[in-house]
Structures are given as structure tokens and as C-alpha cells.
A = this chain, B = another copy of it.
């Protein structure tokens, strides 16, 4: 998907000003903003963008516009998870591009880690964790667990023989906790981790 310079410039403009247009801009409007005087010329560029797959045309037959980037590509970043509180959802999920080798085959989402409850496992405050959506987990996996339908936490899971469940914080200063199986609902399993410095 190689774009020429002008195409890239137009694409950048579209992304930049996506929010400014209440509704998708018409070709004429775009021409005005871009300093073009011919819709035909613009159309050629748009066509190239469509072929490159970075833009989608408004198929609606009406007096039409071009639509821009409807593709929510990437993995949804749903919010933050802090031990002892519900997941803090973002008002609107952002979509983060995540390379394949950090994903599993099944649907995934991303959370920001708040707190230090897993530092000994190398999971620090502020890290991004990729979670595979799953309602069961094996022993020893690190899971997003919902306790009593209230608090969500990231902990290592241990299924006990007696049916109860132990959640282990990987932090020497914290206590492991045991719950009846019914009180704990698995919401996902840790797949990978991203950290920016």
C-alpha cells in the first residue's frame, strides 16, 4: 500500500480533521480545503486511497461523500484494571495496533494496569496487558477475575481441590485470597504485555 506524497498528504488531512466535519465532507469541500479546483483531480487521489484500503467510499447512493477510516483496526483498549475496583472503562474504547505474535487466536482486549499487585511477575503500574477473552483458565495462569460481580483484579489463578479458588497477587507484601468458586468469574487470561518507557 504505497501512497504518493500527495495521497499521503490528503490522507493525513482526512485523519487530522476527521472530527471537524460534522458529516463526511464533500469533494468540493475537500477541494477547497486542499487548494484544488477540480473535483476530478481529487477523485483520482481518493480512488487511490480506496484501493490502498485506507479509506472507504460512502456507498450510500445519495448526494455522496467519502467516508474516512471506519476501520477499527487493532485491539480495543477498554480501560484500566486496579486491584479491588471494577474495571475503569474508557468512555470510548481506543483501538491499539498490536502485532500478531502478541495475540492469541481468540478475541482479545487491552487493559492498563493500575497498582503494584503483580510487580513480582514483572507487571508494573501503567503497563498495558493484552487479555484473551475467556471464562475459564488453567492453574497458574494470570487472569482478570471478577469477584462478587464487583471488583476486578489481575491475579494468578489457583483452582483448589475443594472447589474453591485462590487468587495470588505476585507481590510479597500482599496476601493471597481464597474464594468459593461461585464468587469468582474469569473474564480473561493474560496473553502478553506492552510497556512504554
Task: Select which of B12, B119, B142 is within 8 A of A197 by beta carbon.
Answer: B142
A196 on interface, CB distance cutoff 8 Å: yes
A147 on interface, CB distance cutoff 8 Å: no
A97 on interface, CB distance cutoff 8 Å: yes
A87 on interface, CB distance cutoff 8 Å: no
- Report Cα–Cα, A86/B102, bound state, in Å: 27
A183 on interface, CB distance cutoff 8 Å: no
Question: Are the CB atoms of B193 and A194 closer together than 8 Å?
Answer: yes
Closest B residue to A24 by beta carbon equals: B5
Q: Count of chain A residues with Cβ under 8 Å from any Cβ of B?
A: 35
Task: Select which of B5, B63, B193, B197 is within 8 A of A195 by beta carbon.
Answer: B193
Instruction: Mark A119-134 against chain B: 1 for CB-CB distance below 8 A, else 0.
Output: 1011110010000000
- Report Cα–Cα, A97/B141, bound state, in Å: 26
A91 on interface, CB distance cutoff 8 Å: no
Measured CB to CB, the closest approach of chain B to A187, in angstroms, equals 16
Question: Are the CB atoms of A4 and B97 closer together than 8 Å?
Answer: no
Q: Could you tell me which residues of chain A, from 61 to 116, have a CB within 8 Å of some CB in chain B?
A: 62-63, 65, 96-102
Closest B residue to A4 by beta carbon equals: B62
Give 8 A-B contacts (CB < 8 Å), ordered by A residue: A4-B62, A12-B22, A102-B196, A121-B124, A122-B123, A122-B195, A192-B194, A193-B194
8 closest A-B pairs by beta carbon, nearest first, are A122-B124, A193-B195, A97-B99, A122-B122, A192-B196, A2-B60, A190-B197, A8-B23
Known: A4-B60, A5-B65, A97-B100. 19 other contacts (CB 8 A): A2-B60, A4-B62, A4-B63, A5-B23, A5-B26, A96-B99, A96-B101, A99-B99, A101-B196, A102-B194, A121-B124, A122-B122, A122-B127, A122-B195, A141-B197, A192-B195, A192-B197, A193-B195, A194-B194
